[in-house]
Chains A and B, each alone.
Chain A
Amino acid sequence: MKIQSNSEYCLGCGLCRIYCAAAHDGYNGSVIRAFKKGTPQARAGLIEHQQQSWINTCRHCQDAPCINACITGALQKNNEGIVFIDGQRCVGCLTCVMVCPFGHIQPSLDFSRAVKCDLCRDLAEAPVCVSHCPNGALRLIEEV
């Protein structure tokens, strides 16, 4: 599974990143709390080039270099194919940040750990970037 971004319909509005940030780090989806009281960090990046834009997010690779490189086994793949970081195990070595071929994994704002897209695996519904995209430019697709 991964998020597919269709630049034909991506408006570059950035709502995906806003809702992403609010969905993680314990903000429980409250955009106002995340941005007014917290230190929100979106997992996905938005790339804009010549009036085109698209989201840069984790491919959830089948043979993921980040998992192979992780020194503590914090990076794992669950049985749905989602590559995620076990926060209890991550020691913030950032090896994964260096090996990710797509530049997706980022250090947390305080550099204490790595953060990445987990396809909102804790939520029952679709990833928030998909469900909040105003123009249907993001889709969750099955293939890798």
Chain B
Amino acid sequence: MLRREGDIRIPSGCAIAAIMNRKGERFNGQQILASIAAMHQRSNGLGGGFAAYGIYPEYRDYFALHIFYDDDGARQICERYLQHHFRIKHQEPVPVRQSRRIAGAPLIWRYFARPREDKFYREHIGEEEFVARVVMTINADLRGAFVASSGKNMAAFKGVGYPEDIGEYYRIEEYQAYIWTAHGRFPTNTPGWWGGAHPFTLLDWSVVHNGEISSYSTNRRFLEMYGYKISLQTDTEVIAYAFDFLMRRQGLCLNDVVDVVASPFWSQLEEEKQARLRRKYSGLLLNGPFSIIVATNNGLVALNDRIKLRPLVAALQDEFLYVASEEAAIRVVAQRLDRVWSPGGGEPIVGLLHDKKGLLDVAPSAIQAAQSA
């Protein structure tokens, strides 16, 4: 019997793409759909997905939980669990468009919710940490339920199929977002499980990823030490947690995070701080080929491994930032570009909304820790 994603590790090759409006003006999902569809050959119909930021302005203060259920029984169990931990403002099935090319879809629901204060105050943790723990518990322990996304004013739309078919299924052209990321997957195996598709998310983080991280087990075991429950056995999950750990929990700025996950070689370190970061977080060096796009509500960062073993191209046109595995995927949606370039290994492409200084609006305590460092 084929084992499901999470029971076994499945390497994949992929296509990734992102489009962002740096002014925060929203646009619908047609462009990103065209962009990722142009890289059809980079995926094999076994996974595709999109992350969209700014799509739920009416619920901007609520955590938007998108959850996959294997069956109605799993939904009932999970909803009891949710009721216990959250005040749910609104819940509904995610609207989909039935398609011949999409099969085996789970039940997909979304919940706009806030954590019950008494729960997280009792544990002396912030509400984001609380939500992260709930999400990891559902994914690890509640059989038949999987949280596809859990951030505010954002969602991940993903499943098994070619990305253009997944986009059509989720009707993404009906959503307005200022950041869209997309993923087409080429797994080497046929798990056929919707939870395993990209983007992988935690809170506001979403990660689309092309590559295989050969340091996976090292990174995973490092993160497990800090309480992360790794349930999917995918590199992408580990990358999302690594960013969450470094930025949200350790309070590092984006440049420092890049110096950790794609650290320069010892011989090429320019300042003592980089060496210090590498020594302290050597377990989070991402080794092996990858190109990733990590997004939050504030913006996105696209990054290659430090010796650039995966393709990654970026382009600018007015307020728009485009990132993709192939230049063709950018040209297909924007013929006139101000600048097109291919970043070097370990050299991040950062896209921030105009009024933002970092990918996260970190909590005051984390900022203090970072400043004293």
A and B touch in the complex (CB under 8 A): no
Residues of A at the B interface (CB closer than 8 Å) are none
Residues of B at the A interface (CB closer than 8 Å) are none
